[in-house]
Structure 1
């Protein structure tokens, strides 16, 4: 009795850990995770930020360019001598020479305004590309999320069908043992049972692949499972 109680206790702990291991995942949480972990979105956002930083009048050439440079130099002099009454040594000197350069194109036709227009167009294009990638990612996550729910429902239907086929096959076998069913009926129901078993295993694989595809979009481990709340 004590062994049975211990076994039931360990079984309950194991089942509880399995249930807790499945995180709850709503559609809004899936979209949030997908947008936060998508590398394509992060790359496009960095491109958009870079284009926004370049879209300035200074980058277009309207304002003067000022550059400050510094050239350091280090000299080393050995003070060793053959005079025994003088101590040798070394002398090190450091020098820094700064230079300041300024250039300003006072008139360059319409090149400045044309360059500024190109930079503005580049920023607008980067923003549009980022928006398209975000919308496509959201669409893919929504489709993958509801595909998982659809495959879950299909798995339940295949499981119920398999149970009915098993019961019908067991029933016709019993009738055959009693002599009230012919061999054709037994083989027919056995074939239906085997077909439903194969369909159920295939559906389990489809459901697993659907969860895997969702995890790829969310940048999560492919074998991670969830409890879907929507």
Structure 2
């Protein structure tokens, strides 16, 4: 019997160890890498930037002549059957006709009141705006992923705190029950301890649900299946205590991507 108990204990320990290993730890770098590769908003921004780059590649065509060619070909088949009053008949079925038309039109605007220059400049602004939009989307995506990642870490710490409180409540229930059984305390103390323990257990279950919801939100940012929540995150949240508000404020006009996108939008509207 002792050997069987030892074997079962070892088997349970092995299963628990395997379960812990199965839940891989997702690092912040891996989460950012997945988001930069698969985030849908970032993909749309990149596609718009590629379209603007293609238009910019042909920006000088506004100064070149345009050549348009048209061609058309038509086929007709005629079938006529006639019967006259004198009894004569005439059948002209199978008459075919083909008609081919073609034309070439060459246009070259030598000067249109600087419109061609404005068109080229506007296309350049659109290209720059597309690049800034991609950078801005990258920054916003990374910020959202970092916030979502450490939100899970924060929720995990809250879960650990609730687990500690639930453990304390469980000990309080056992102590109250022992006092009640020995007549040292009334039954109301034991009932109140049970109520507090059940409240802690409900809060613990709600916290687990919040963690699953936070993981689903992070999955959407990373562009993966929202139900893929079988991973863990790092518990520690690094804090940069060397940040200085004055240094952050300096040069914000040339660094902040939201401001640069707004400035480029203003410049683009002036060229329209």
TM over 0.5: yes
For residues 49-100 of structure 1, what are the alpha-carbon distances to aligned partners after superposition, in whole Å with 9 as ceiling and x for unaligned?
Answer: 22222223344x2000111211121111337688x9x997524444432221
User: Do the aligned partners of residues 57 and 225 (structure 1) sit closer, same or farther apart at CA in structure 2, a change above 3 Å counting?
Assistant: closer
2:35 aligned partner: 34
- Decide whether the 8 Å contact of 2:212 with 2:229 is kept in 1: no
- Decide whether the 8 Å contact of 1:24 with 1:226 is kept in 2: no
1:181 aligned partner: 185
Structure 2 CA distance for aligned equivalents of residues 25 and 186 of structure 1: 43
1:103 aligned partner: 107
Structure 2 CA distance for aligned equivalents of residues 181 and 34 of structure 1: 58
1:197 matched to 2:201: yes
Structure 2 CA distance for aligned equivalents of residues 179 and 223 of structure 1: 51
Structure 1 CA distance for aligned equivalents of residues 79 and 216 of structure 2: 72
1:226 aligned partner: 230
Please list, as runs of the form range in 1=range in 2, the aligned pairs for 1:66-145 lying within 5 A after superposition.
66-78=67-79, 90-145=94-149
TM-score, with normalisation over the residues of structure 2? Answer: 0.67
- Decide whether the 8 Å contact of 2:40 with 2:223 is kept in 1: no
2:54 aligned partner: 53
- Decide whether the 8 Å contact of 1:25 with 1:226 is kept in 2: no
Instruction: Give the drift of 1:102.
Output: 0.9
For residues 80-129 of structure 1, what are the alpha-carbon distances to aligned partners after superposition, in whole Å with 9 as ceiling and x for unaligned?
Answer: 688x9x99752444443222111001122422222211111111112111
Structure 1 CA distance for aligned equivalents of residues 179 and 204 of structure 2: 26
Structure 2 CA distance for aligned equivalents of residues 93 and 37 of structure 1: 58
SS in 2 for 1:213: helix
- Decide whether the 8 Å contact of 1:57 with 1:63 is kept in 2: no
Structure 1 CA distance for aligned equivalents of residues 20 and 99 of structure 2: 70
Aligned length: 217
Instruction: Give the drift of 1:137.
Output: 0.8
1:169 matched to 2:173: yes
SS in 2 for 1:165: helix
Structure 1's unaligned 5+ residue stretches are: 1-8
User: Do the aligned partners of residues 229 and 206 (structure 1) sit closer, same or farther apart at CA in structure 2, a change above 3 Å counting?
Assistant: closer
2:44 aligned partner: 43
Q: Relative to structure 2, which stretch is displaced further, 87-96 or 24-33?
A: 87-96
TM-score, with normalisation over the residues of structure 1? Answer: 0.78
Structure 1 CA distance for aligned equivalents of residues 60 and 74 of structure 2: 33
Moved over 4 A (4+): 15-20, 79-82, 86-89
RMSD (Å), alpha carbons: 3.4
